[in-house]
Structure 1
Amino acid sequence: MSANDSATRAAPHFALEPGADGDWRLRISGAWTLESIDKGAPTVLGGRRPDATGLRAARLEGDIEAIDSAGALRLARVIDRLEQDGAVVDLGGLPAGQRNLIELLKARLPPPEAPRPPREGMLASVGRATVAKLVEGNAFLAFVGELVVRGGRLLAVPWRIRWREVVAEIEAAGLRALGIVGLLSFLVGMVMAYQAGATLADFGANILIVNLVAIITLREMGPLLTAIIVAGRTGSSYTAQLGTMRITEEIDALRSIGISPFDMLILPKIIALIVVLPLLTVFANLLGLLGGAVIAAYRFELGFSVYFDRLPEVVDLSTLILGLIKTPVFAVAIALIGCMQGMRVAGSALAVGRATTVSVVQAIFLVIVLDAGFSVLFNLLGY
């Protein structure tokens, strides 16, 4: 091909004409080569759809002087775009060689990109989150209802409760938790005594360290700290255990042989935690008071004998009871959330980890909300 031949060829042209039979004719002409398409007809190239309202079918016809892979690729892109818009393009009006080249390049075009979903607005995000929380709350209330119905029925015939499983859960949730509960309570008692004493010592009121540590420990920090530790330790283990049993279909196997998973797996956990949490709270209270006594004695010159002699003057049995009243409610909330999330696990083992995280967060959140509610209630009642 000489330079003169390239110059004498007509520029590539693309025209859309209505046909006599109601279809459309896509007439192409000129030279569809790399040199020509760089010079002519830029408005019809690049894959843009011609302006034809209601285009449903079209036949490609014309007299192409010359075509190479660059020109065929441009035509393939135009045809592909028309087909994406719903048109049926017939290449039967072209010579076999040109038709085959266009079809070959069209088959190698990348698939069209899927349209991106519209970005969710803030109102939609808030609504979606609200609905999700309502669904979680409904599931929790359903679980509470099942506990009341099934638990009440079994309490009427206590010999049918699986007490061996209850004892095993008491050991796992209570005895094995003494170390972490006692250590953290002791350290928190030390911190409270140190922070209180740093201020009270400036006024010569070291003796009031006992008041602050004792009241806060027995009424708030002891029950709350114990419940949070149990939520993170025991509640998560309930979710992981039941979730794994769901994944491995062990729970379905229990149902298939006529054993209720609620009676065998869930109710013993709830009963055990109701028994264990108040006892752990008493243990945490003792260690918290001891931690405060250590700091009061060795940092603020308030001897152990003075510290423990003043305790009965500062607090009485009602202070301890006000703290312990909350613990069975905390225990039920922690056990129900842990078991509920475990029973809702579905899919793969990855779902067990997600459910465990959700269980811990929800249990701690609910414990703090319940504690705040008890504080308001005690205040209204004058305690």
Structure 2
Amino acid sequence: MTDTLINQDRPPALEIVAQDDGQDCVKLSGCWNLRSLVSAPELNLKISSYAANENIQWDMNSIDVLDSASALILWKAWGKKLPVALKMLPEHQRLFERWQAQTISEAEPVGPRSSLIIKYGYQLFANFLEQLLHLVTLLGQLVLDMSYLLLHPGEIPWSEISITIYESGVRALGITALVGFLIGIVLSYLSALQLKIFGAEIYIIDILGLSVIRELGPLLAAILVAGRSGSAMTAQIGIMRVTEELDALSAMGISHSLRLILPKVIALTIVLPLIGVWTSSMALIGGMVSAQNTLDISYQQFFLKLPDVVPLINVLIGLLKSAVFGLMIALIACHFGFRIKPNTESLGNETTNSVVAAITVVIMVDAVFAILFMDVGMP
């Protein structure tokens, strides 16, 4: 114990030792820490002068103590690289490994801009294919789960389905009603300004009926549910990952798809058409209020003419679209939920990605429906 304390109190020393092969060797000994080097500023000058000779050898085996500050001083004097002929203890080697790794990463050659763009595009495409494959896998697992539940109806997770319907449907009625009502007012008011010019005020019913029932109602409902309920589903699964609840379910032999994914998919597929009808109804009410105030079209006239200008097939198309929207929103929410790693940063990033991807897919599916049913349901 006394010898250790004496060694730690030895001041840092630097001497030139002649080797048998005629080469000079810089031998370092003593206690090399920040406090000792501050009291011996001449050592810094000697180190810099000797480090200029790349052929000189360095022997650090006699150093008793070496801290990070002293190692950094030597590292910079050596030109941020280890000398070719260097002897040191293994525990001192670890102090230089961090800076050596940083230097190697900084020295990596940067390719031309075109190759970087190609590499980035390839990574995006590969990531897209990977996520698409995972979505298809989820969809296939859902088909297997539905087949299993048809044979074992007693294991249908009714409680999970009902809870999801309440959280995603009942609790979303307020915001969807407000947004639908305001959109109906805006659409009716802007259309009325143009229809007055041509004296075609009565066609406000055609514009509102077709646009709201066929397009805006289901689309608005899906976007609101994707932002509200889709993000909540992703965050719920992510929190279960962070708190290791998913691992506990696996340890108990409970299927993730049967208890977590399937109830959400069934609930949203059922509830989103109902929310779409609710949103469309509130948008039409808002449009009627605006039409009555701006164009003097009575509520009775609006109700009587609406079934004539909007065929029933448009309602069915809107319901079908809403069901597909619900299926896609639930699948995407669960997909990004299971991608979350057990940390809070991943939780926020994947929840954001879930909302963006769900809204994007909803708009893409809506465009596909618009093309497929372009000539269907028009008066």
Q: CA deviation at 1:89?
A: 7.1
> Aligned residue for 2:102?
114
> Aligned residue for 2:82?
84
Divergent runs of 4+, >3 A? 23-27, 44-50, 57-60, 75-79, 110-113, 117-120, 380-383
Equivalent position amino acid for 2:163 in 1: A
Alignment of 1:212-223 (within 5 A): 212-223=207-218
**Residues of 2 paired with 1:244 and 1:82: CA distance?**
44
**Residues of 1 paired with 2:76 and 2:172: CA distance?**
71
Q: Normalization by structure 1: what TM-score?
A: 0.74
> Aligned residue for 2:320?
325
**Residues of 2 paired with 1:210 and 1:346: CA distance?**
51
Count of aligned pairs between the two proteins: 323
Measured at CA, do residues 320 and 48 of structure 1 come closer, stay the same or move farther in structure 2, by a change above 3 Å?
farther
> Aligned residue for 2:262?
267
**Residues of 1 paired with 2:76 and 2:173: CA distance?**
75
Alignment of 1:1-383 (within 5 A): 21=21, 24=23, 48=52, 50=54, 58=57, 80-81=78-79, 84-88=82-86, 114-115=102-103, 116=106, 117-119=108-110, 121-379=116-374
**Residues of 1 paired with 2:339 and 2:80: CA distance?**
48
Measured at CA, do residues 287 and 46 of structure 1 come closer, stay the same or move farther in structure 2, by a change above 3 Å?
farther
Give 3-state SS (helix, strand or coil) of 2:84's partner: coil
Q: Percent identity?
A: 36
Measured at CA, do residues 328 and 118 of structure 1 come closer, stay the same or move farther in structure 2, by a change above 3 Å?
farther
- Of residues 122-131 and 318-327 in structure 1, the stretch that sits farther from structure 2 once superposed is 122-131
**Residues of 1 paired with 2:301 and 2:222: CA distance?**
31
Unaligned runs of 5+ in 1: 1-18, 28-33, 39-43, 61-74, 91-106
**Residues of 2 paired with 1:218 and 1:382: CA distance?**
11
Q: CA deviation at 1:379?
A: 2.2
Higher fraction of helix: 2
Q: CA deviation at 1:255?
A: 2.0
**Residues of 1 paired with 2:324 and 2:197: CA distance?**
40
**Offset from partner CA, 1:19-49 (integer Å, 9 cap, x none):** 995x85589xxxxxx99xx9xxxxx969556
**Residues of 1 paired with 2:229 and 2:76: CA distance?**
64
Unaligned runs of 5+ in 2: 1-18, 27-40, 60-72, 89-94
- Of residues 294-303 and 117-126 in structure 1, the stretch that sits farther from structure 2 once superposed is 117-126
Alpha carbons 2:205, 2:306 under 8 Å: kept: yes
**Offset from partner CA, 1:228-249 (integer Å, 9 cap, x none):** 1111111111111111111111
